[in-house]
Amino acid sequence: MSKITVVGAGKVGATCANVLAHADIVNEVVLIDIQGNMAKGKALDMWQQAPVDGYSTRVTGGDDYALTANSDIVVITAGIPRKPGMSRDDLISTNAKIVVSVTQNILKYTKNPIIIVVSNPLDVMTYACWKASGLSDKRVFGMAGVLDTARYRAFSLKRSSVSQKISRPCSWADTAIPWCRCPVHHR
Ligand SMILES: NC(=O)c1ccc[n+]([C@@H]2O[C@H](COP(=O)([O-])OP(=O)(O)OC[C@H]3O[C@@H](n4cnc5c(N)ncnc54)[C@H](O)[C@@H]3O)[C@@H](O)[C@H]2O)c1
């Protein structure tokens, strides 16, 4: 794989780009944000960190979607996050417009990317992205369960000091419930 674009250079997007850069698994990571200079500056910091931390990923950034041309994977984190008292569903109308416009811009420069949506509310944004993209449903994904699963496991460990394997088969919302999976030993 040679190129991953991350759209949204805020807390989630910049962290994602930084982790990808350090993983050294792609030639290029592109960080795009409506605040182009902020994305450009963060990308520059990540690229210049490479000799110190020992990776060779080229990181670039800005607000010009031409930079994203021919991406293998696009991660969409653009949007507004929840403020205190808000549910993820309160973000629908604002973030849907953002996710749809980001999707349209991406497709101007990359014909058949894999898109991973992170913006909330996750299930709705993933659907909006898929509808706007016209891509196969095998190319558009939503990333969510990892976060709550990690939190749940961390709190479980704190309480019990017993490791648990947990999966989350339900939708991504305030009503989500963790699903505990106990190991079964067959004879
Ligand atoms: N799925 C998950 O597990 C998960 C976890 C955490 C956060 N989120 C969601 O991810 C999103 C981002 O959260 P955050 O904390 O990084 O927010 P943030 O405010 O730090 O960053 C969002 C970025 O999106 C940019 N942006 C807004 N409109 C844009 C557009 N049209 N084009 C390009 N960039 C645009 C903003 O300038 C900002 O830099 C939120 O919707 C949040 O709820 C999802």
Residue 167 confidence class, pLDDT cut points 50, 70, 90: very low
126 lies in some domain: yes
C-alpha dihedral (117, 70, 21, 119), degrees to nearest 10: -10
C-alpha dihedral (94, 17, 132, 176), degrees to nearest 10: -60
Residue 169 confidence class, pLDDT cut points 50, 70, 90: very low
187 lies in some domain: no
**152 and 138 share a domain?**
no
Query: Which residue has the least CA distance to atom 15 on ligand 1?
Result: 11
pLDDT digits (tens, 9 = 90+) for 51-87: 999 999 999 999 999 999 999 999 999 998 888 988 8
**37 and 108 share a domain?**
yes
- Give residue 177's domain range: 146-181
Distance 183 CA to ligand 1 centre (A): 37
Which residues contact residue 120 at a Cβ distance below 8 angstroms, ignoring those fewer than 6 apart? 79, 81, 82, 88, 91, 95, 172
pTM of the model: 0.87
**Statement: residue 185 has pLDDT above 70:** no
Distance 82 CA to ligand 1 centre (A): 10
29 lies in some domain: yes
**97 and 163 share a domain?**
no
168 lies in some domain: yes
pLDDT digits (tens, 9 = 90+) for 79-99: 988 889 888 788 898 999 999
Q: Write the DSSP symbol of residue 83.
A: P
- Per-residue tokens: 44: 């520059």
